[in-house]
């Protein structure tokens, strides 16, 4: 779906959602994102321009379901409680609530599976949308466009986007690696069959 008039378009200064600055339209950093190692795992931190913690995702190297997210300086909660996945197989929709209890749904759309955020009331017009385009110098440019409703909860939108885009890229990379591995295996089989090995 196409997003109606965004009120704010943020640009990632690199096409890496976990080690980047997120810039305002005038090029000033509004957020910084970095990944670090912590005891028994890693942390992805999103800071605002003043250096205050917006959200931190902590994952452990062992065990499933042990990821926790800390919003601001609040106590950490289970990642799946803050960003809750659909239980329907193969559906990648993720829901979240704002502080007023209003529900939103992140969805992967289009051929490139870009993330778009919808309100619970309207699943046809996104209120935030991620775009990746090729810049003038040939490099990828990532932007996150927000409409007025998304801008009301900008910190939550930015943090949830960063964490979900990281997950999406990990899945994408894993699928690409699997395809390459399978292709290499088939090529090896053909080489053996035709005496090329």
Q: Which is nearest to 79 in space by CA: 41, 131, 132?
A: 41
Q: Under 8 Å CB-to-CB from 111, ≥6 apart: which residues? A: none
Provide the token pair at 158: 């930015």
pLDDT for residue 10 is more than 80: yes
Question: CATH number for the 8-193 domain, one of 1.10.730, 3.30.1050, 2.30.29, 2.40.160?
Answer: 2.40.160
Q: DSSP assignment, residue 110? A: T
The top-scoring range by mean pLDDT among 17-21, 29-33, 186-190 is 29-33
Q: Model pTM?
A: 0.84
What whole-number distance in Å separates Cα of residue 83 and Cα of residue 19?
21
Other Cβ atoms within 10 Å of 126 Cβ, number: 27
105 pLDDT tier (thresholds 50, 70, 90): very high
Query: Which region among 51-55, 94-98, 182-186 has the lowest average model confidence (pLDDT)?
Result: 182-186
Taking the C-alpha atoms of residue 176 and residue 115, their distance in angstroms, rounded to an integer, is: 19
| Boundaries of every domain in the chain | 8-193
Predicted local distance difference test score (pLDDT) of residue 57: 94
Q: How confident is the model at residue 196 (pLDDT cuts 50, 70, 90)?
A: very low
Dihedral sign (CA 109, 115, 120, 125): negative
Tokens describing residue 65: 């379901």
pLDDT tens, 55-103?
A: 999 988 776 557 899 999 999 999 999 999 878 766 778 999 999 999 9
Asked if residue 153 lies in contact with residue 120, where contact means CB atoms within 8 angstroms, the answer is: no
Chain mean pLDDT for the chain: 85
Which segments of the chain does DSSP mark as H helices, in order? 79-82, 148-152, 154-193
Structure tokens that stand for 152 in this block: 């009301």
112 near 168, Cβ under 8 Å? no
């Amino acid at each position: 779906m196409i997003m109606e008039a965004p009120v704010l378009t943020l640009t990632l200064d690199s096409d890496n959602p976990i080690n980047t600055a997120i810039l305002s339209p005038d090029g000033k950093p509004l957020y910084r994102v970095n990944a670090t190692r912590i005891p028994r795992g890693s942390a992805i931190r999103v800071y605002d321009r003043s250096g205050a913690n917006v959200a931190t995702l902590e994952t452990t190297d062992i065990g499933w379901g042990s990821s926790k997210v800390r919003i601001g300086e609040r106590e950490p909660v289970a990642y799946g409680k803050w960003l809750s996945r659909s239980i329907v197989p193969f559906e990648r929709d993720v829901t979240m609530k704002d502080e007023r209890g209003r529900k939103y749904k992140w969805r992967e759309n289009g051929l490139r599976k870009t993330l778009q955020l919808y309100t619970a009331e309207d699943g046809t017009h996104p209120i935030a949308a991620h775009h990746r385009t090729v810049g003038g110098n040939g490099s990828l440019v990532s932007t996150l466009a927000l409409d007025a409703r998304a801008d009301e909860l900008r910190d939550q939108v930015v943090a949830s986007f960063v964490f979900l885009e990281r997950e999406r890229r990990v899945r994408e990379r894993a699928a690409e690696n699997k395809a390459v591995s399978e292709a290499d295996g088939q090529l090896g089989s053909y080489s053996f069959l035709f005496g090329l090995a």
